[in-house]
Amino acid sequence: MAFRTKRGEYSRFSPRARFLNNGLPEGKHSRFSPRARFLFLFFLIGCFFILANYCYAQALEVDYPTLPGGETLNGDGIKLPNYLLYLYNFGFWFGFIIAILSLAIAGILYILSNAIPSLKATAKDRVYGAITGFILLLLIYLIITTINPNLRIFRITTQLDNQPPVLPPQLAIAGVYFYGENGCPDPQPMAQTMNIADLEDLKNRVKSIKIVHNSASNVWYIAILHDIINFQGRCEYFSYGSCQPPRIIPTEAASASIYRYNFNPSGGGITFYRKSSHNTGGGWRKIENINGILILKLEDLKFTGNTDNENQCNVPENEQDCIKWEIDGKTCKKENRKCPNLMGENITSIKIDGDYIVILIYYDGTTRSEYIWNSCQIFPTPDDINEEGPRQIKWEYIRNEKYFYNLAVIIPVKQK
């Protein structure tokens, strides 16, 4: 028996009727409701995915394009954050290129508008759209990189089970480090921040030096190695932060002068005298307004007070240098005299007024660096209680050398 077929009605023996009745005889219905069938299908699919532990993806047949910044996804081990970052950069550059092409097409349409006037409006719309796209791209870039640059860094951080957290490296204490091995190896020795008159265990064994500064706290150190105890003898100046070996005295370091550099020194400056005990009667020269490390060539300095004008020489006329004697060999006219310089034995005492040290140096120019000196001595010396500088240099080590000092270095320090 067949049903009358109308719109929305069908024969009970039609394929659609058999499908809806699940092949049951007439008058019978499925005992599974649509909701039960949906749940059954859902669990069936879920079991299928649960049983699939892993699968291998097909290798790329075409490499991903390389972006203008050199970024690409070609190769193995590409992680999800890298993929997202690549998509972000790709979209940014793709939008930029599309805007450029749109402007180019608009230009062509504008040129053709002389022949086809209707193209002029289309060209203007394209220009407007391209400029709007440029502005949007620029705003996106500014928002992401200026307001919060971390938004463009796609990173997934994970903590492995039973693994200790990775702690940031500990910053070394500011100071000077002396090593008995080359290359400043670990473990790191104790930081030195004060003068060492005798290196004791490290005497003649210093093979590398590292100076650690703390720029955040404005703490900077300098060091001078000496090959004789009590800060005398051949010496070498250090201030760089990287590890470096001593050069002129690679295994002869006996003492070390260590000072903290002063960026804002105070005081009246340094005065050099021809006479002992800071006596101005024999002539003097003052160096003022010292705001950094100052290297003085003593041959170029005259006893002219606090000026460079040689006409202001304050050395008594009969004690000035004579460049031309009279026939008798005893008389020197005034016009034949010149103001003596500060080289050799001409400096007899030094007054230090302020946060400075003075290094008297003999340097013959044959060493590999201008900071490697043949002989030097630092003032004030440890036995100078008032820290005012030497009142009689002829008793000091530097004057008992076979060479006369020809350089003076003034360094602002926090503590002498």
Q: What average pLDDT does the segment 200-213 reach?
A: 89
Say which residue the tokens 């900071």 belong to: 371
Q: How high is the pLDDT of residue 186?
A: 77
Q: How confident is the model at residue 124 (pLDDT cuts 50, 70, 90)?
A: confident
Q: What is the spatial distance between Cα 238 and Cα 224, in angstroms, rounded to a whole number?
A: 6
Using the predicted structure, report yes or no on whether residue 23 has a pLDDT greater than 50: no
Higher local confidence (pLDDT), 4 or 279: 279
Q: How confident is the model at residue 348 (pLDDT cuts 50, 70, 90)?
A: very high
Q: How far apart are CA 192 and CA 176, in angstroms?
A: 5
% residues pLDDT > 90 (the chain) = 30
CATH superfamily assigned to domain 175-260: Crystallins (2.60.20.10)
Plot region of 188 (φ>0 → left; ψ -120 to 50 → alpha; else → beta): beta
Per the DSSP assignment, residues forming a β-bridge with 321 are 338
Instruction: Provide the token pair at 33.
Output: 């409701």
Sign of CA dihedral 122, 125, 129, 130: positive
Short-list 245, 222, 246, CA closest to 174: 222
Rounded Cα gap, residues 256 and 228, in angstroms: 9
Q: Which of these ranges, 23-32, 232-241, 318-327, has the smallest mean pLDDT? A: 23-32
Task: Indicate if the pLDDT at residue 50 is higher than 80.
Answer: no
DSSP state of 223: E
User: Model pTM?
Assistant: 0.58
Give Cβ neighbours of residue 212 (< 8 Å, ≥ 6 apart): 172, 173, 174, 175, 176, 177, 191, 221, 241
Q: What is the DSSP string of 274-332?
A: SSSTT-GGG-EEEE----S-EEEEGGG-BS-BTS--GGG--S-GGGSEESS--TTSS--
Residue 121 is predicted with a pLDDT of 85
Residue (of 274, 355, 345) closest to 316 by Cα position = 274
- The strand pairing partners of 257, in sequence order, are 224
Distance CA 397, CA 27 (A): 125
For the chain, which residues make up each domain, given as ranges?
A: 1-55, 80-152, 175-260, 269-412
Length of the chain: 416
| pLDDT value at 18 more than 50 | no
What is the pLDDT averaged over residues 76-92? 69
Q: Strand order of the sheet with strand 221-228?
A: 255-260, 221-228, 232-238, 372-379, 356-362, 407-412, 294-297
